[in-house]
């Protein structure tokens, strides 16, 4: 990862006056103590253009990251960063909102971790998340 450089003034104020000092701080992005995990996510469409995620949502169990770009929905493994599954054209138009159910929901004979999506097509869809073990 690249370096970040912060250049600016640090000032200390008080009732009787101010003091300022010029400072420069350099650190690696992966050294930020608030960053929990960093992994590259290659995201390209078939033409080779680089895409960017529109929305991200972490599953309640912390194992899956749901992502959207346009009308496509992807599930990524948090541990490895690998794509678990992709639903292209998940909606007829862009996905505008995603949210995880706070706990697993019964679906037939099983319990499923469920993600809700809404789109410009004025539909809400519920999706059973893929198993992390299936990758």
pLDDT tens for the chain, 135 residues long, are 455 445 455 444 454 544 545 555 555 655 667 777 776 665 655 566 666 788 999 999 999 999 999 999 999 998 888 889 999 999 999 999 999 999 999 988 889 999 999 999 999 999 999 998 854
Please give the C-alpha separations between residue 72 and each of 69, 118, 119, 128, in angstroms, as whole numbers.
5, 12, 11, 15
Is the separation of the CB atoms in 114 and 101 below 8 Å?
Answer: yes
Distance CA(42)–CA(84), nearest Å, equals 13
For the chain, which residues make up each domain, given as ranges?
Answer: 55-134
Cα angle at 18 between 16 and 20, to 5 degrees?
Answer: 160
pTM of the predicted protein model: 0.67
Coil vs helix vs strand at 132: helix
Is the separation of the CB atoms in 52 and 43 below 8 Å?
Answer: yes
CATH label, 55-134, candidates 2.40.10, 2.60.40, 1.20.120, 2.30.30: 2.40.10
Is the separation of the CB atoms in 60 and 100 below 8 Å?
Answer: yes
């Amino acid at each position: 990862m690249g370096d970040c450089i912060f250049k600016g003034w640090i000032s200390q104020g008080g009732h009787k006056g101010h003091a300022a000092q010029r400072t420069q701080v350099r650190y690696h992005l992966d050294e930020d103590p608030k960053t929990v995990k960093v992994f590259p996510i290659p995201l390209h469409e078939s033409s080779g253009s680089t895409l960017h995620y529109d929305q991200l949502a972490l599953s309640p169990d912390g194992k899956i990251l749901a992502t959207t770009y346009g009308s496509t929905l992807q599930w990524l493994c948090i541990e490895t960063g690998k794509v678990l599954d992709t639903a292209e054209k998940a909606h007829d138009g862009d996905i505008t909102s995603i949210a995880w159910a706070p706990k697993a929901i019964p679906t037939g004979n099983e319990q499923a971790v469920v993600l809700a999506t809404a789109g410009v097509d004025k539909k809400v869809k519920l999706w059973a998340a893929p198993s992390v073990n299936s990758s």
